[in-house]
C-alpha cells in the first residue's frame, strides 16, 4: 500500500519517515519545490535531531520518494496524510487556504477510493468541510473517507514522540476507516482514542490550551514570587510531586512560543467567539504570555538603570532547545524591544540564525558563548539550550563589562552565580 504525505514540513516529514519505518511505501509532496529537492537529496530543510538519519536510510532503501507532481502523487497512493500548515490570521482564526487547496487537489485527481487522514491542527468542523471540498472538486463521484488524526509531537523530540505517542486519537464517521488507520499504526504501542471527528479536532486544541495554561499559571505566579522572596522553581518541585498536577510544564520563563501554542490557543478562542462562548481563562493565558517578556525587561531596566547604550548578550534565539524554529520565539520580541531601547546586541544560538527582519547595525551573531558575552553589560538567557547551563560561568565573568545575568529560563544555579560575583536574576527567583 502506498501512502502520500501532502505537506512535508516538520509534521509531514516526521510522519513520512514514521510510515516508512513502519514498512509502508511513502510519497512526499509539497508545493515548495526547494523542500522537495532538499529532501530528495537527503537534506532536511530544518533542524530536527535524528530525522536526517532516518531520511537518508529510507531514501537509500527506496521506501520514500519526494514528488512535485500532484497528479502522480494522488493517483499512485491509496492513503493521503494531510500535514500542511494552518497558520493564524490577523483575527486569530486559522488560515484554511492550504487545507482547502490539498482537499481540492485530491478531489480533482482521484480516480479510485482514498482514505484521507488529517494530521494538521484544524478548527472543529474541518473534517466535514474537507469532505465537502473534496466532493465539490470531484469530476465524478468516487467514494472516500476523511479521518481526523491530530498530531501531538514536539519539535526537538519529533522522532521519539512519533514512535512513542502518549495516545493515538482517531476521529471518524466510519468504523472501517478508523480500523484502517489503526492498521497503519499497528506496530506502534499506544492507547487509542477512537471518537467522532469533531471530538478529535477539539482534543488537539484542548491539549495545547491546557499546557499553555499551565505555563501561564506558573509565569503569573513567578511575578508574585519575585515580590515575596520565594522561588518559583521550588514551587514547581513542591507541587509537581502531586500526580494530579504532574512535574511537567511548570517551568516559568519568558513565555511560550513556537508554531503551535500561540496560534492554537488563539484559534480556540476564535472558535469560542463564533459560538458566543467566552473562554475568559484562555484570554488571560494569552494576555499573561504576551506580557511576560515585558515583565522580564522591566526587571532588567530596574536593575541596569536603563538599556540605552548598553551591550546586551542574548543567549538563545529558537523558541525552545532542540530546534532552529523561530516561529513566535520570545527571543525575537525581546530583541526588538532591546533594539528600540537603543541597546547593542550580541547574540548566540547553537543552531538558529538571526532572521532577516532583525538584521540591524546594532546586532551581531557570534559562534561562541565567549565572544557573545565579551564586553557585555548584561547576559539574557532566552532559550534553555543545555550549553548555557554547562558554560564556564566562573570564567566568563572576566570577559564581561558588567556581570549581570538575566535568566529568562531559570537554567542556572542562582546561588552559585551570586557566589561567583554575578548580579543574577532568574525569573520568579528574584
Ligand X SMILES: O=c1ccn([C@@H]2O[C@H](COP(=O)(O)OP(=O)(O)O[C@H]3O[C@H](CO)[C@@H](O)[C@H](O)[C@H]3O)[C@@H](O)[C@H]2O)c(=O)[nH]1
Ligand Y SMILES: NC(=O)c1ccc[n+]([C@@H]2O[C@H](COP(=O)([O-])OP(=O)(O)OC[C@H]3O[C@@H](n4cnc5c(N)ncnc54)[C@H](O)[C@@H]3O)[C@@H](O)[C@H]2O)c1
Applying CB under 6 A, the residues found at the interface with ligand Y are 6-12, 29-32, 35, 83-86, 98, 101-102, 120-121, 151, 153, 155, 259-260
Least distance CB 250 / ligand X (angstroms)? 6
* Binding partner of residue 109 among ligand X, ligand Y, none, CB cut-off 5 to 8 Å per kind: none
Residues 317-346, interacting with ligand X (CB under 6 A)? 319-320
Q: Which does 208 bind (CB under 5 to 8 A by kind): ligand X, ligand Y, none?
A: ligand X
Is 260 among the catalytic positions?
yes
Residue placing its CB nearer to ligand Y in the complex, 29 or 295: 29
Cell numbers at residue 300, please? Answer: 532588567
We find the least distance from the C-beta atom of residue 92 to ligand Y, in angstroms, to be 14
Q: Please report which residue ranges of 41-138 form alpha helices under DSSP H.
A: 51-60, 70-75, 97-109, 126-137
- Provide, rounded to whole angstroms, the least separation between the CB of residue 106 and ligand Y: 10
The binder of ligand X chosen from 209, 215, 378, 417 (CB under 6 A): 215
Residue nearest to ligand Y (CB): 9
CB of 64 or CB of 260, closer to ligand X: 260
Q: What are 403's three cell numbers?
A: 556581570
Note whether 316 binds ligand X by CB under 6 A.
no
For residue 129, the Cα-to-chain-centroid distance in whole angstroms is 26
Beta bridge partners of 81: 5, 117
Which of the listed partners (ligand X, ligand Y, none) does 319 bind, with a CB threshold of 5 to 8 Å by partner kind?
ligand X
Q: Any residues with CB less than 8 A from the CB of 343 and at least 6 apart, and which?
A: 307, 308, 309, 310, 311, 312, 362
| 104 closest CA partner among 195, 31, 36 | 31
Which of 197, 253, 426, 428 binds ligand X (CB under 6 A)? It is 253
Concatenated DSSP letters of 15-66? HHHHHHHTT-EEEEE-S-HHHHHHHHTT--SS--TTHHHHHHHHHHTTSEEE
Task: Write out the binding residues for ligand X, residues 134-153 only, by CB under 6 A.
Answer: 151-153
| Residue 114 in the binding site for ligand X (CB under 6 A) | no
- Considering CB distances under 5 to 8 angstroms, the limit depending on partner class, which of ligand X, ligand Y, none binds residue 215? ligand X
Q: Are strands 423-426 and 378-381 parallel, antiparallel or unpaired?
A: unpaired
Binding partner of residue 7 among ligand Y, ligand X, none, CB cut-off 5 to 8 Å per kind: ligand Y
Q: Which of 103, 80, 105 is nearest to 184 (CA)?
A: 80
Of 169 and 307, which has the nearer Cβ to ligand X?
A: 169
Which alpha helices (DSSP H) does 229-362 contain, by range?
Answer: 232-240, 261-274, 280-304, 330-340
Helices (H) and strands (E) in the chain, counts: 17, 14
Candidate list 65, 83, 225, 260, residue with the active-site label: 260
Residues tagged active-site: 260
* Residues in touch with ligand X (CB under 6 A): 121, 151-155, 208, 211, 215, 249-251, 253, 256-258, 260-261, 264, 319-320
Amino acid at each position: 500500500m502506498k501512502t502520500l504525505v501532502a505537506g512535508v514540513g516538520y509534521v509531514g516529514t516526521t510522519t513520512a519517515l514514521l510510515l516508512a519505518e513502519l514498512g509502508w511505501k511513502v510519497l512526499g509532496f509539497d508545493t515548495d519545490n526547494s523542500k522537495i529537492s532538499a529532501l530528495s537529496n537527503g537534506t532536511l530543510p530544518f533542524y530536527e535531531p535524528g530525522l536526517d538519519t532516518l531520511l537518508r536510510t529510507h531514501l537509500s532503501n527506496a521506501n520514500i520518494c519526494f514528488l512535485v507532481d500532484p497528479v502522480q502523487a494522488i493517483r499512485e497512493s491509496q492513503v493521503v496524510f494531510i500535514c500542511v500548515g494552518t497558520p493564524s490570521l490577523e483575527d486569530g482564526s486559522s488560515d484554511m487556504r492550504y487545507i482547502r487547496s490539498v482537499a481540492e487537489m485530491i478531489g480533482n485527481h482521484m480516480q479510485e477510493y482514498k482514505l484521507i487522514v488529517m494530521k494538521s491542527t484544524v478548527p472543529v468542523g474541518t473534517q466535514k468541510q474537507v469532505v465537502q471540498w473534496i466532493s465539490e472538486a470531484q469530476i465524478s463521484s468516487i467514494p472516500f473517507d476523511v479521518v481526523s488524526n491530530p498530531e501531538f509531537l514536539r519539535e526537538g523530540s519529533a522522532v521519539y514522540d512519533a514512535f512513542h505517542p502518549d495516545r493515538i486519537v482517531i476521529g471518524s464517521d466510519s468504523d472501517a476507516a478508523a480500523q484502517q488507520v489503526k492498521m497503519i499504526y499497528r506496530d506502534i504501542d499506544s492507547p487509542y482514542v477512537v471518537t467522532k471527528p469533531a471530538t478529535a479536532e477539539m482534543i488537539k486544541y484542548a491539549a495545547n490550551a491546557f499546557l499553555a495554561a499551565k505555563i501561564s499559571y506558573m509565569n503569573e505566579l513567578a511575578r508574585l514570587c519575585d515580590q515575596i522572596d520565594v522561588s518559583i522553581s521550588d514551587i514547581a518541585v513542591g507541587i509537581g510531586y502531586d500526580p494530579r498536577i504532574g512535574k511537567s510544564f511548570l517551568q516559568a520563563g519568558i513565555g511560550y512560543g513556537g508554531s503551535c501554542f500561540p496560534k492554537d490557543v488563539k484559534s480556540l478562542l476564535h472558535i469560542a467567539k463564533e459560538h458566543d462562548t467566552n473562554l475568559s481563562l484562555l484570554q488571560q493565558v494569552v494576555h499573561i504570555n504576551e506580557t511576560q517578556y515585558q515583565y522580564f525587561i522591566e526587571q532588567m531596566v530596574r536593575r541596569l538603570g536603563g538599556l540605552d547604550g548598553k551591550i546586551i548578550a542574548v543567549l538563545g534565539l529558537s523558541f525552545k532547545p532542540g530546534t532552529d524554529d523561530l516561529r513566535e520565539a520570545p527571543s525575537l520580541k525581546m530583541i526588538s524591544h532591546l533594539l528600540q531601547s537603543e541597546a547593542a546586541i550580541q547574540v548566540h544560538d547553537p543552531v538558529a540564525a538571526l532572521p532577516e527582519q532583525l538584521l540591524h547595525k546594532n546586532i551581531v551573531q557570534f559562534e561562541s558563548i565567549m565572544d557573545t558575552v565579551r564586553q557585555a553589560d548584561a547576559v539574557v538567557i532566552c532559550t534553555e539550550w543545555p550549553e548555557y547551563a554547562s558554560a564556564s560561568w566562573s570564567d566568563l565573568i572576566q570577559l564581561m563589562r558588567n556581570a549581570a545575568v538575566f535568566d529568562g529560563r531559570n537554567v542556572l544555579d542562582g546561588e552559585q552565580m551570586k557566589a561567583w560575583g554575578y548580579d543574577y536574576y532568574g525569573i520568579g527567583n528574584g
